[in-house]
Amino acid sequence: MNFWQNLKQNKKHLFCLAPMADVTDCAFRKLITKYGKPDVFWTEFVSADGLAHPKAREKLLIDLKYEKNEHPIVAQIFGANPENIREASKLCKSLGFDGIDINMGCPDKTIEKQGSGACMIKNPELAKEIIRSAKEGGGGLPISVKTRVGYNKVDMDWIRTLLAEDLAALTVHLRTRKEMSLVPAQWDLMRDVIKIRDEMNKDTIIIGNGDVVDIDDASRKCEEYGCDGAMLGRAIFGNPWLFRKGTKKEISLKERLSVMVEHTKLFEEMLVNPPAGGKNFSIMKKHYKAYCNGFAGAKELRMKLMDTQNASEVEILVKEFLTNI
Sign of the C-alpha dihedral, residues 250, 252, 253, 254?
negative
Q: Is residue 114 part of a domain?
A: yes
169-173 and 143-148: which strand pairing?
parallel
For residues 207, 212, 214, 215, the Cα torsion angle rounded to the nearest 10 degrees is -20
**For residues 185-206, average pLDDT:** 98
**For residues 16-44, average pLDDT:** 96
Active-site annotation holder among 26, 106, 119, 227: 106
How far is the C-alpha of 16 from the C-alpha of 257, rounded, in Å? Answer: 25
Residues 86 and 178 in one domain: yes
Query: Does 5 score more than 90 pLDDT?
Result: yes
Give the pLDDT score at 108: 94
Residues 257 and 227 in one domain: no
Q: Is residue 242 part of a domain?
A: no
Task: Render the burial of 25-55: b for 16+ CB within 10 Å, e for the rest.
Answer: bbbbbbbbbebbbbbbbbbbbbbbbbbbbee
278 confidence band (pLDDT: 50, 70, 90): confident
Provide the 8-state DSSP code for 118: G
Query: Does 1 score more than 80 pLDDT?
Result: no
Residues 281 and 231 in one domain: no
**For residues 267-296, average pLDDT:** 89
| DSSP notation for 258-325 | HHHHHHHHHHIIIIIS-TT----GGGGGGGHHHHS-SSTTHHHHHHHHTT--SHHHHHHHHHHHHHH-
Between 257 and 324, the more confident residue is: 257
Residues 76 and 102 in one domain: yes
Query: Does 58 score more than 60 pLDDT?
Result: yes
Report the chain's C-alpha Rg in angstroms. 20
Give the pLDDT score at 275: 64
Residues 275 and 146 in one domain: no
How far is the C-alpha of 248 from the C-alpha of 237, rounded, in Å? Answer: 18
Residue that is last in its domain, among 236, 263, 297: 236
- Type of residue at 143: I
Q: Is residue 158 part of a domain?
A: yes
Give the pLDDT score at 162: 98
Q: Is residue 161 part of a domain?
A: yes
Per-chain mean pLDDT for the chain? 95
Cis peptide before 240 (omega within 30 of 0): no
Residues 32 and 152 in one domain: yes
Do 40 and 72 meet the contact criterion of CB atoms below 8 Å apart?
yes
In the chain, how many domains are there? 2
292 is catalytic: no
Do 225 and 191 meet the contact criterion of CB atoms below 8 Å apart?
yes
Residues 43 and 103 in one domain: yes
- Type of residue at 218: A
**For residues 305-315, average pLDDT:** 97
Residues 23 and 159 in one domain: yes
181 confidence band (pLDDT: 50, 70, 90): confident
**For residues 209-216, average pLDDT:** 96
**For residues 29-50, average pLDDT:** 97
3-state DSSP assignment of residue 85: helix
Residues 199 and 258 in one domain: no
Q: Is residue 68 part of a domain?
A: yes
Give the pLDDT score at 248: 72
273 confidence band (pLDDT: 50, 70, 90): confident
**Residue 82 is part of which domain span?**
3-236
Do 37 and 243 meet the contact criterion of CB atoms below 8 Å apart?
yes
How far is the C-alpha of 188 from the C-alpha of 151, rounded, in Å? Answer: 18
**For residues 293-322, average pLDDT:** 97
Give the pLDDT score at 222: 98
Q: What is the pLDDT of residues 213-235, one digit of tens each?
A: 999 999 999 999 999 999 999 99
Give the pLDDT score at 245: 81
Bridge partners, 100 (sequence order): 75, 143
How far is the C-alpha of 313 from the C-alpha of 307, rounded, in Å? Answer: 9
Q: Measured at the alpha carbon of residue 66, what is the angle toward residues 61 and 70, in degrees to the nearest 5?
A: 155
Residues 58 and 139 in one domain: yes
Give the pLDDT score at 276: 57
**For residues 267-288, average pLDDT:** 87
Report the percentage of the chain scoring pLDDT > 90. Answer: 93
Query: Does 277 score more than 70 pLDDT?
Result: no
**For residues 63-78, average pLDDT:** 96
Query: Does 270 score more than 60 pLDDT?
Result: yes
Do 159 and 121 meet the contact criterion of CB atoms below 8 Å apart?
no
Residues 225 and 288 in one domain: no
Residue 192 burial (CB count, 10 A)? 15
265 confidence band (pLDDT: 50, 70, 90): very high
Query: Does 95 score more than 60 pLDDT?
Result: yes
Residues 39 and 157 in one domain: yes
**For residues 38-52, average pLDDT:** 97
Rounded to the nearest 5°, which phi and psi values hold at 77? -125, 165
CATH number at residue 26: 3.20.20.70
Number of helices (H), then strands (E), belonging to the chain: the values are 14, 9
